[in-house]
């Protein structure tokens, strides 16, 4: 299926869904504006048996206790739980935090099926008690914990993965906390609701018509390093060593900037930031030929360490590269 036909098919499914219109408007805009940037995948149930450690009615007897909070209780279908964990690439070395954990199914499934550790928080005391009970029944109580706690007052610094199923306005309120608490590379997966102008790194749609709903959308973000500000480095060039400086501007993982030295200035090409990994290129002049410089490296606080490849015609030379931040600027988020 071509890109246009795939987008048309997906748009038709979104328009017909019974969920909130704002999600459809955002998603259609995203498809129109960044279809080549965000990967979109569809999963279909196809009668697969993912097991039923939790029913779709699990904990609903306590749902009334969540009505007074910003987000009510709605159990996530197990097909969606499995897809969320797969999208986040959860493994045995990961610590997962579920914000608004309900009956604990995401954290417990991550521990039981994938060997992860973690905890969940919810303001509903009864659901937290139920989660602890389920964790004991599934034999993972030593790997997971559940707390009655406000998600905005929860320390997220241990997380390798954060999962949420919250309302759009809550996601937007949560965004600054995620940015301040989480390490570069931490994966965030949201069920059904996006985070405004923070572009997802990947989008997955799940056909769950057999489960009494039409479909779910999952959004994945990889927490980017904070790289905004002025950086400097030196580079051996054919006509002698040169000093370079760049002023990175940043809007979450979207970055840009202009590189300058005594010989001129050049806009960054193909600038990419994924977690702590950064890559960009520029084309500059040395003597008379044009030289392409391809940089890649890992951000470690105020230092970037990696390599640069200089290309002039068919000849390529690779050097170690180290840049230092001289002045920080608060990124646009």
Q: Both tokens of residue 30? A: 């995203």
Tell me, yes or no, whether 37 and 153 share the same domain. yes
Tell me, yes or no, whether 207 and 316 share the same domain. no
pLDDT tens, position by position, for the chain (333 residues)? Answer: 433 333 334 333 333 333 444 454 444 444 444 433 445 555 454 434 344 458 777 777 766 655 555 667 788 989 899 999 999 999 999 999 999 999 999 999 999 999 999 999 999 999 999 999 999 999 999 999 999 999 999 999 999 999 999 989 999 999 999 999 999 999 999 999 999 999 999 999 988 765 555 688 999 999 999 999 999 999 887 777 889 999 999 999 999 999 998 888 999 999 999 999 999 999 976 566 788 999 999 999 999 999 999 988 768 999 999 999 998 888 777
> Could you report how far apart the first and last alpha carbons of the chain are, in Å?
36
Q: Is residue 256 part of a domain?
A: yes
Tell me, yes or no, whether 178 and 53 share the same domain. yes
User: Which residue, of 161, 188, 222, is where some domain finishes?
Assistant: 222
Q: Is residue 170 part of a domain?
A: yes
Tell me, yes or no, whether 175 and 233 share the same domain. no
Angstrom CA distances, 333 to 90, 130, 248, 298, stand at 26, 37, 14, 21
Tell me, yes or no, whether 214 and 238 share the same domain. no
Q: Is residue 333 part of a domain?
A: no
Tell me, yes or no, whether 258 and 201 share the same domain. no
Task: For residue 270, give its domain range.
Answer: 229-328
Residue with tokens 């029944």: 137
User: Which residue, of 187, 204, 222, is where some domain finishes?
Assistant: 222
**Measured distance CA(144)–CA(150) in Å, rounded:** 18
DSSP conformational letter for 229: E
Tell me, yes or no, whether 200 and 283 share the same domain. no
């Amino acid at each position: 299926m071509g890109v246009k036909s795939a987008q048309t098919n997906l748009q038709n499914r979104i328009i017909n869904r019974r969920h909130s219109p704002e999600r459809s408007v955002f998603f259609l805009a995203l498809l129109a504006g960044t279809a080549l940037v965000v990967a979109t995948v569809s999963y279909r149930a196809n009668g697969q048996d993912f097991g039923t450690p939790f029913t779709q009615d699990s904990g609903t007897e306590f749902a009334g206790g969540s009505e007074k909070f910003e987000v009510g209780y709605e159990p996530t279908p197990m097909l969606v739980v499995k897809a969320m964990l797969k999208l986040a690439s959860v493994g045995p070395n990961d610590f997962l935090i579920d914000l608004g954990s309900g009956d604990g199914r995401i954290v417990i499934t991550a521990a039981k099926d994938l060997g992860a550790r973690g905890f969940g928080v919810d303001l509903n005391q009864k659901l937290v008690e139920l989660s602890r009970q389920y964790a004991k029944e599934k034999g993972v109580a030593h790997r997971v914990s559940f707390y009655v706690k406000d998600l905005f007052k929860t320390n997220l610094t241990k997380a390798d993965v954060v999962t949420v199923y919250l309302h759009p306005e809550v996601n937007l309120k949560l965004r600054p906390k995620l940015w301040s608490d989480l390490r570069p590379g931490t994966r965030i997966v949201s069920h059904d609701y996006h985070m405004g102008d923070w572009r997802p790194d990947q989008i997955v749609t799940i056909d769950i018509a057999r489960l009494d709903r039409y479909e779910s959308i999952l959004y994945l973000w990889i927490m980017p390093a904070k790289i905004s500000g002025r950086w400097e480095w030196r580079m051996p060039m054919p006509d002698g060593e040169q000093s370079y400086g760049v002023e990175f501007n940043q809007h979450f993982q979207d970055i840009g900037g202009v590189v300058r030295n005594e010989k001129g200035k050049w806009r960054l090409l193909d600038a990419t930031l994924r977690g702590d990994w950064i890559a960009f290129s520029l084309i500059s002049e040395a003597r008379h030929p044009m030289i392409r410089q391809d940089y890649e490296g890992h951000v470690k606080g105020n230092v970037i360490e990696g390599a640069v490849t200089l290309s002039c015609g068919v000849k390529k030379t690779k050097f170690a590269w180290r840049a230092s931040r001289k002045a920080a600027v608060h990124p646009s988020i």
